Amino acid sequence: MLFKPIKIKNLILKNNVFVAPLAGYTNLPTRLIFREQNCAICYSEMVSAMGLNFNFNKSSKLIDINQIDRPIGIQLFGSNADIIFKAFLSLNNFDYDLIDINCGCSVKKVINAKSGAFLLKDPDGIYKIVKILKDNTDKPVTLKIRSGWDKDNINFLEILDSCTKAKADLITFHPRTKSMLFKGIAEWDQIRILKEASPIPVIGNGDIFTGSDAVRMMEATGCDGIMLARGLIENPFLIEETICALKNEEYNKPDTDKRMKTMLKHCSLIISYMGEKRGLANFRKFASGYVKGLPGASKFRQKINHLVKHEDFIKTVDEYNNYIKNLL
C-alpha cells in the first residue's frame, strides 16, 4: 500500500505526503490552504540559524504557526553545530512537532554562508549537528540532503551513515547534486539505494509534478513517503491529486469554479495576514498555478500584476471565471 501513516520517533503522521519548506512560499496562509487537501505535515519557510541568533525578532516571523497549522516542522540552516544549537534553543516558545536540518539548499547566498548543501562536504559536521540536537530534545530530528556536492563527490551513503550514527529520525532525499541545482533529471535510483541501506524512514523528493510521478517514485524506490515542492507552485492542487494516485482512486481535476474559489480564498488569507498592498503583491506568484493551462491565462496574470486593491482582484477573478465559462 503506497498511501499509509508514517511514524517519526514519537510523532505519528496520518499519511506520507509531505509539503516541503519553500522559502518565500510556505507562509502560514499558504500552509492552511495546502492542509485542506489532507497532507501529512507542512514546514515553515526555511529559517537561518544565524538570523535567529543575531536578529531573532525578524527571522522568527518566518515561524508563524497556530494550532490549526499542525503538525508542523521547522527547518533550520546553518554552518555548524554550535550555530544551529544556539538557534534551536531560541525556539523554546514555539509549539512545533519536529526540527529539520537543511543540507540540500543550493542557493548562492546559503552556500556562501557555508550552509545548506555546503554541509554535504562535511559528513562529520552533519553528525555533530544531529547529535547535539538529539541529545537536547525529545522531538524528532530530521534532515534533508542532496546526493553530493557534484558528480565527482556523490556521498549520500556516507551522509546517511553519519546521521544514523547520530540517531536522526528521518531523512528526506533529493537525488541531485548541489552543482545540478534543479537542472537535469533527479536520479531516483539513488533513493532506492539509500532506502535499502537506511534503518530510518526515507522520504523521496525531486521531479514530482503529478500524482503519477509520486506513484512511480514510490514503486521504483520503495521510499516511505514523498515530499512535494516545486510541483505545488505549478499546481496548487497537487496534494489531492497525489493522494488519489497513491490510493489508486480516480482523480477529478478541479473545475474552473473550484480553481477560482480556492484562489480567492488563498489571496484573502494572505491579505489578512500581510495587509492589502503587500498581500496582493505576495500572492501574484501563486496566481499562475491556479490558471495554468486555461485560455487567456497570460492576459489574466498581466492584469492582476497592476492591481493594488483587493476588491479589484475579486472583480478581475470573477470576470475571468465568466470568460472561461462562456468559452465552454
How far does Cα 306 stand from its chain's mean position? 29
Confirm if 19 and 172 have CB atoms less than 8 A apart: no
Torsion of Cα atoms, 228 then 195 then 105 then 23, to 10°: 20
Residue that the C-alpha cell 547566498 belongs to: 109
CA 240 – CA 3 distance, rounded (Å):
12
Residue 102 class from Cβ within 10 Å (0-12 exposed, 13-18 middle, 19+ buried)?
buried
DSSP 87-103: HHHTTTTS--SEEEEEE
Residue 327 class from Cβ within 10 Å (0-12 exposed, 13-18 middle, 19+ buried)?
exposed
Half-sphere exposure in the Cβ direction for 95 (13 Å, CA): 7
Residue that the C-alpha cell 477573478 belongs to: 317
C-alpha cell at 129: 549537528
Confirm if 162 and 30 have CB atoms less than 8 A apart: no
C-alpha cell at 293: 493551462
Catalytic residue, from 103, 105, 163, 223: name it. 105
CA 168 – CA 158 distance, rounded (Å):
14
105 is catalytic: yes
C-alpha cell at 194: 539509500
Confirm if 145 and 103 have CB atoms less than 8 A apart: yes
CA 29 – CA 184 distance, rounded (Å):
32
Supply the residues annotated as catalytic: 105
